[in-house]
Amino acid sequence: MRTLLAFLVGTSLLTAPAMAQTAWTGGDDQPANPLSCDASVAAVSPGEYNGGMPTNAPDRKGKPLRVVDIPKLVGVGYFASTAAGIQEAAKEIGSMTVTTDGPTKANIDEQITFIDNYITSGVDGILFAANDPVAIAPVLKRALEAGINVVGYDAEAEPDARQWFVNQAEPNGVAKAMIDQLASEIGEEGSFAIVTSTFTTPNQSRWISEMSGYAAKCHPKLKFLETVEAQEDNILSFNQSQTLINKYGDELKGILGMTSVATPAASEAVQQNNLCGKVSVVGLALPNAMKPYVNGGCIKSTILWSTVDLGYAAGMAMRAVADGTLKPGDTTFKAGRLGDLQIVNQSQILLGAPKVFTKADINNFDF
C-alpha cells in the first residue's frame, strides 16, 4: 500500500508515443503467472514456512489475550477501517482485547518506538503494518524473543521478524480483477490505455505485466493503446488522461488507473469531457475518492480490497496463532466469516481477490 497511497510530485507532462503500441509498456519484463479465466483459483503449495517463532512463549491457548495493533499511522480512514475489522474479530472471539495505537504520521522511527514501548509494558500479541520492512524487523524480532506473538497485515516486514502476514492481494489477483472488470465495461474488443506512476515503480510494473499475461490468455481481443506516466501527481494524472482522450477520440473506450491518484483524476477528466458512459475508468483507488463519480453514475466501479476484512483476518490470525491452531505447514486458514483463506508464499495468508466497489455498496465503506 505504500506506493499505492504515496503522493509524489510531478512537474511536467510526459510525451506519449505517436502510435499505439504492439506490446504493453510499463511492465517489469518478468514472466507473468495469469490466473484461471473463470472464478476458480488453483491452490498451490505455499512452500516451507519462513516466518519467525516466539521464544519460550507461555501457553495462551483459550486464555485472554492482550493485543496491540500498531499500523503505519493512526487518524486516517484506511487504518481506522482495518482497526474496525480487528475489533470485529475481537468481539466475535470474545477472549481478546485489542488497542490500536501508533504514530500520527507514517514515520518508521516513531512506529519502532511504539512497538518497543509495548514490548516493555507487556502484551501477548502485536499486530502491525510496517512503514519499512527492513527497519521494523529488529524491534519485531525483540518482540518474538520476548515470547510475544507477532502478526502483520497490509505492509510486510522481513518474514523471520513475524509469524504470519495477511496479504491483501497477489499481483496476478489484482490483474485478473482489473482486466475482468475492464472487459465487462468496454466489451471484449474495446481499446484502452493505462495511466501509471512510472515505468519503474515495482508493484505497478508487476501488475501491468500480469495484466498483459492475463489479457492475452482470457480477453485476447482487448486492444491496448499505450501506457503513460503520471508520477502519482493529481494534476499530471488529469492532464495525461486528457491527452489520451484528445489523442484517441472515439477509439478510447477505457482507462486503467494504476494508482489511487490516477484513477480519480482520470474519472474527473472523463466527467469534464462529458464522456460518462462512453469512456470507462477502471482502477485501484480508495472508495472515498471515487464516491462522487460512482454515486453520480459517471464511473461504474473502483477496485481495491476490503480493509475491514483485512483487519478482521489479522485479528482472527492472532487468536489462532496464540492458540496454536495456525501453525507452520498449514495450507489454509479458517478465518471466521471469511471462510478458508489460502496460505501462500511460505507464511502469508491471502485475503483473496480484490474487491470491486460499485454504487450498490461503495457507501458502506469509509476510507
271 found inside a domain: yes
Report pLDDT digits (tens) over 309-346. Answer: 999 999 999 999 999 999 999 999 999 999 999 999 99
- The domain in which residue 104 lies consists of 65-168+306-351
Residue 113's pLDDT is: 98
Say whether both 256 and 339 belong to one domain.
no
Residue 306 has pLDDT above 70, yes or no: yes
Same domain, 70 and 187: no
Cell of 20: 499505439
According to the model, what pLDDT value does residue 7 have?
31
Share of residues in the chain with pLDDT > 90 (%) = 84
Other C-beta atoms lying within 10 Å of the C-beta of residue 207: 26
In a domain, 60, yes or no: no
The tens digit of pLDDT for each residue in 240-257 reads: 999 999 999 999 999 999
Identify whether residues 221 and 298 lie together within a single domain. yes
Give SS3 for 132: coil
Do 357 and 264 touch, CB atoms closer than 8 A?
no
Whether residue 155 is found in the same domain as residue 277: no
User: What pTM, to 2 d.p., does this model score?
Assistant: 0.81
Examine the fold and report which residue of 284, 304, 324 is the final residue of a domain before the chain moves on. 304
71 domain residue, yes or no: yes
Q: Check whether 64 has a pLDDT greater than 60.
A: yes
Residue range 148-169, pLDDT digits in tens = 999 999 999 999 999 999 999 9
Please check whether residue 91 lies inside any domain of the structure. Answer: yes
Contact between 214 and 34 (Cβ < 8 Å): yes
Residue 263: which CATH number?
3.40.50.2300
Residue 276 CA: distances (Å) to CA of 55, 154, 245, 252, 262:
58, 33, 12, 13, 17
Cα 52 from Cα 150, distance rounded (Å)? 9
Shared-domain flag, residues 149 and 274? no
Strands 164-167 and 348-350: parallel
What pLDDT, on the 0 to 100 scale, is given for residue 56? 96
- Average of per-residue pLDDT values in the chain: 91
Is residue 357 domain-resident?
no
Predicted confidence band at 8 (pLDDT cuts at 50, 70, 90)? very low
Tell me whether residue 32 is in a domain. Answer: no
Q: Per-residue confidence at 82, pLDDT binned at 50, 70, 90?
A: very high
Shared domain for 296 and 319, answered yes or no, is no
> Can you tell me the distance from the alpha carbon of 202 to that of 365, in angstroms, rounded to the nearest whole number?
28
In terms of C-beta density within 10 A (0-12 exposed, 13-18 middle, 19 or more buried), how is residue 6 classed?
middle
Same domain, 211 and 298: yes
Q: What is the pLDDT of residue 42?
A: 60
Residues 251 and 186 in one domain: yes
Q: Does the pLDDT of residue 12 top 50, yes or no? A: no
- The pLDDT score that the predictor gives to residue 43 is 65
Residues 317 and 289 in one domain: no
Residue 88 is assigned to a structural domain of this protein: yes
33-57 pLDDT tens trace: 999 998 765 667 899 999 999 999 9
Inform me whether the pLDDT recorded for 4 exceeds 50: no
CB atoms under 10 Å from CB of 330, counted, come to 16
> Do residues 152 and 248 share a domain?
no
User: Sheet holding 348-350: strands in order across?
Assistant: 96-100, 65-70, 125-128, 149-153, 164-167, 348-350, 340-344, 332-334
User: Higher-confidence residue: 200 or 107?
Assistant: 107
User: How high is the pLDDT of residue 3?
Assistant: 39
When pLDDT is cut at 50, 70 and 90, the band that residue 10 belongs to is: very low
Alpha-helical (H) ranges within 137-284 are: 137-145, 171-186, 202-218, 234-248, 262-272
Per-residue pLDDT at 1: 40
- Which of the pair, 14 or 311, is modelled with greater confidence? 311
Q: Is there a domain that residue 95 lies in?
A: yes
Confidence of residue 200 (pLDDT cuts 50, 70, 90): confident
103 and 157 in a single domain? The answer is: yes
Higher pLDDT, 153 or 353: 153
Q: Are 273 and 249 in contact (CB under 8 A)?
A: no
Residue type, 234: N
Total domains in the fold of the chain: 2
Which pLDDT band, with edges at 50, 70 and 90, does 202 fall under? Answer: confident
